[in-house]
Amino acid sequence: MEIDKNTEKTLELLHKYLKGTHTYQGWYSIPYSDANDDSVDYIIEYKIKKISLWRGNSSDECVFEGTIYIEPIKLSLGVNGEWEHNFKQHDIYEGDWEECGEDLIEKIHKFFNHICLDYDFDFKKLN
């Protein structure tokens, strides 16, 4: 399937915007802990593996729709400023991954508000 010039140019701009390695930082509470302030910080380093983009329905506000394929490359966990690296996908909650994906989509939407995107993760490199 061949894409039109506007879709191709928009895809090119998205690739330029998302070039390189990105990070997302968050935290979660330690389960079953007695202290209210026990938490684990995490940093996800990722890059964009692929972007699929197509024209949206003419009735929608989205000129383009698509999927961003996120490839996590490093997961670090920290407690009280002490960091350990090279954790795997299931060392943080699924909701933390969702927050990372939603954060990326939100950042993209600030500059490309005519594009409606969703995301998917490719954990092969991380795991």
Residue with tokens 């972007």: 51
Confidence of residue 36 (pLDDT cuts 50, 70, 90): low
Question: pLDDT at residue 1 above 60?
Answer: no
Higher pLDDT, 35 or 104: 104
Tell me the two tokens of residue 93.
């909650």
Give burial (CB, 10 Å; 0-12/13-18/19+) of 42: buried
Query: According to the model, what pLDDT value does residue 71 have?
Result: 98
Residues 67/119, Cβ–Cβ less than 8 Å: yes
Could you tell me whether strands 82-84 and 21-29 are parallel, antiparallel, or unpaired per DSSP bridges?
unpaired
pLDDT at 48: 97
Which residues 6+ apart lie within 8 Å of 120 measured at CB?
67, 68, 69, 70
Question: Residue 63: is it exposed, middle or buried by C-beta count within 10 angstroms (0-12/13-18/19+)?
Answer: middle
Task: Provide the residue ranges of all domains of the chain, joining segments of one domain with +.
Answer: 5-30+38-121
Q: What is the pLDDT of residues 7-30, one digit of tens each?
A: 999 999 999 999 999 999 999 988
Residue range 54-65, pLDDT digits in tens: 998 766 788 999
